[in-house]
Amino acid sequence: MLNKIRVFVAGACGKMGMESVRNILKQEDMEIVGVSNIQNQGMDIGTVLGLSPLGLLVSGSLSLESLKKAEVDILVDFTNAKSAFINAKEAIRARVVPVIGATGLDSEEIAELKEIAKENNVGVFIAPNFALGAILMMKFAKETAKYFSHVDIIEYHHDNKLDAPSGTALKTAESISQIRKPIIQGHPNEYEKIPGSRGGDINGIHVHSVRLPGLVAHQEVIFGGLGQTLTIRHDAYTRETYMPGVMLAIRKSYKMTEFIIGLENFLD
């Protein structure tokens, strides 16, 4: 008999959370054993999704006790950085592997999670992006940085996104920085008439964030060289884009004891 991966979804009534629940329900090797969300507390998650009732009610929060009681294997978290940090600590102490899709965790929070994970011998997976195309975009950008030292990153997201720049833009800049040395781009005497016009600066890489209705998640990495430019772009048009990556992360994180950041670590 197949041993199913027991999954709890935090932020289950958000757009990414609902899409994750729908997809997990379709997997033969997974089952949903718990869901939480600030909205729709006490409602059946099946009803929230427009399906038949599943007998699984939306809780307002998760706790070490509730995770242990449900014998959860994986916590999938699509809340926000603040909640994801709190949830991850509870999960680790319950010996549940957190798969974190929320972006915005800072270096101190990540360091604390690493320490707690090490103490409990439990794995943690954090994904700046679950889209396989975005992972390839970052891989190609890192390779291109060997030949083009000047680069700007422009990321575009819907106007409800809270953090800027996106986790993907940060990860892209960090990957490029592993290849090229920090340099000053543009004219050495340039100045901004409006503060921020040249974007944020990560090791000399200018990063620009666009927030507009109608967008989902998009990013351009523009390299400039002598007489030429090279643009690497990824576009995500629906939340379905991320689901193959989410399902891959759940399977790869099952019983994992390592602390891993980035879906590229799970690709062959």
**Ranges of each domain in the chain:** 5-126+240-266, 132-237
CATH class belonging to 5-126+240-266: alpha beta
Which of 3.40.50.150, 3.30.70.270, 3.50.50.60, 3.30.360.10 would CATH assign to domain 132-237? 3.30.360.10
Q: What are phi and psi of 38, to 5 degrees?
A: -65, -45
- Active-site residue (options: 15, 89, 150, 161): 161
Please state, in angstroms and rounded to a whole number, the distance separating the CA atoms of residues 113 and 49: 32
Q: Is 158 a catalytic residue?
A: no
What is the model's pTM?
A: 0.83
Please state, in angstroms and rounded to a whole number, the distance separating the CA atoms of residues 88 and 113: 8
Look at residue 140 in the predicted model and tell me its pLDDT: 96
Q: Tell me the average pLDDT across 98-105.
A: 88
Q: Tell me the average pLDDT across 19-32.
A: 96
Q: What is the pLDDT of residues 127-181, one digit of tens each?
A: 988 999 999 999 999 999 999 999 999 999 999 998 899 989 999 999 999 999 8
The answer to whether residue 199 scores a pLDDT higher than 70 is yes
The answer to whether residue 243 scores a pLDDT higher than 70 is yes
- Active-site residue (options: 157, 171, 206, 234): 157
Question: Which residues does 268 contact at the CB level (< 8 Å), separation at least 6?
Answer: none
Residue 103: band (very low, low, confident or very high) from pLDDT cuts 50, 70, 90: confident
Among 102-106, 226-230, 263-267, the range scoring the smallest mean pLDDT is 102-106
Q: Tell me the average pLDDT across 56-78.
A: 91
Q: Tell me the average pLDDT across 239-255.
A: 94
The answer to whether residue 91 scores a pLDDT higher than 80 is yes
Q: Tell me the average pLDDT across 191-201.
A: 94
Please state, in angstroms and rounded to a whole number, the distance separating the CA atoms of residues 68 and 241: 31
184 within 8 A of 204, measured Cβ to Cβ: yes
- Measured CA to CA in angstroms, residue 11 lies from 31, 83, 125, 173 at distances of 17, 9, 17, 28
* Structure tokens given for 137: 């975009």
Please list the helix, strand and coil fractions of the chain in percent, rounded to the nearest 5, in that order. Answer: 35, 25, 40
Q: Is 157 a catalytic residue?
A: yes
Look at residue 244 in the predicted model and tell me its pLDDT: 95
3-state secondary structure of 245: helix
Q: Tell me the average pLDDT across 191-215.
A: 95
Residue 231: band (very low, low, confident or very high) from pLDDT cuts 50, 70, 90: very high
What rounded mean pLDDT belongs to the chain? 93
The answer to whether residue 48 scores a pLDDT higher than 70 is yes
Q: Do domains 5-126+240-266 and 132-237 have the same CATH topology?
A: no
The answer to whether residue 1 scores a pLDDT higher than 70 is no
